[in-house]
Amino acid sequence: MGGERFIVVLLFDGVDLLDVTGPPEVFALLRRETADAAGYRVVLAAESADPVTTMAGVRVLPDLTFEEAAAHGIDTLVVPGAVDMDDERRVRARTDEDLVHWVRVLAGRSRRVASVCVGAHLLAAAGLLDGKRATTHWSTARQLATEHPEVRVDADPIFIRDGAVWTGAGITACLDLSLALVAEDFGEGVALRVARQLVMYLKRPGGQSQFSVPIEPVSTTRRMDDLRRHIAQHVTGRLTVADLAARAHVSERQLTRLFKTELGTTPAAYIESARVEAARNRLETTDDTLERVASACGFNTVDTLIRAFRRQLDTTPTEYRGRFRHTP
**Residue 79: how many other CB atoms lie within 10 Å:** 29
Whether 75 and 39 have beta carbons less than 8 Å apart is answered as no
Strand 165-168 to 159-162 pairing: antiparallel
Nearest residue to 235 via CA among 290, 278, 280: 278
**How far is the C-alpha of 279 from the C-alpha of 12, rounded, in Å?**
42
Nearest residue to 293 via CA among 313, 312, 318: 318
pLDDT in tens, 126-146: 999 999 999 999 889 999 999
pLDDT in tens, 76-120: 999 999 999 877 777 899 999 999 999 999 999 999 999 999 999
Please tell me the pTM assigned to this model.
Answer: 0.66
The pLDDT of residue 199: 65
Q: For residues 325 and 219, which has the higher predicted lDDT (pLDDT)?
A: 325
Instruction: Rank 49-53, 91-95, 233-237, 258-262 by mean pLDDT and report only the highest.
Output: 49-53
- pLDDT surpasses 90 at 209: no
Average pLDDT, the chain: 87
- pLDDT surpasses 50 at 233: yes
Strand 110-115 to 152-153 pairing: unpaired
- pLDDT surpasses 50 at 218: no
Q: What is the mean pLDDT of residues 65-69?
A: 97
Q: What is the mean pLDDT of residues 176-197?
A: 85
Computed on alpha carbons and rounded to an integer, the radius of gyration of the chain in Å comes to 22
Q: What is the mean pLDDT of residues 242-271?
A: 91
**How far is the C-alpha of 4 from the C-alpha of 264, rounded, in Å?**
45
Q: For residues 300 and 106, which has the higher predicted lDDT (pLDDT)?
A: 106
- pLDDT surpasses 50 at 211: no
**How far is the C-alpha of 178 from the C-alpha of 189, rounded, in Å?**
15
**How far is the C-alpha of 75 from the C-alpha of 171, rounded, in Å?**
22
Q: What is the mean pLDDT of residues 163-182?
A: 88
In the chain the domains, ranked by start, together with CATH numbers, are 5-197 (3.40.50.880), 213-324 (1.10.10.60)
Whether 120 and 167 have beta carbons less than 8 Å apart is answered as yes
The pLDDT of residue 139: 86
Q: What is the mean pLDDT of residues 186-201?
A: 76
- pLDDT surpasses 90 at 252: yes
pLDDT interval class at 156 (50, 70, 90):
confident
Q: What is the mean pLDDT of residues 273-298?
A: 92
pLDDT in tens, 25-48: 999 988 887 765 578 999 999 999
The pLDDT of residue 208: 53
- pLDDT surpasses 70 at 204: no
**How far is the C-alpha of 322 from the C-alpha of 317, rounded, in Å?**
9
**How far is the C-alpha of 189 from the C-alpha of 183, rounded, in Å?**
8
- pLDDT surpasses 50 at 202: no
pLDDT interval class at 200 (50, 70, 90):
low
Whether 5 and 27 have beta carbons less than 8 Å apart is answered as no
Residues of the chain with pLDDT > 70, as a percent, come to 90
Sign of the CA dihedral 59, 125, 73, 133? positive
Whether 256 and 266 have beta carbons less than 8 Å apart is answered as yes
Helices 17-33 and 188-197 pack at an angle, to 10 degrees, of 110
Instruction: Rank 109-123, 181-195, 209-223 by mean pLDDT and report only the highest.
Output: 109-123
The pLDDT of residue 35: 65
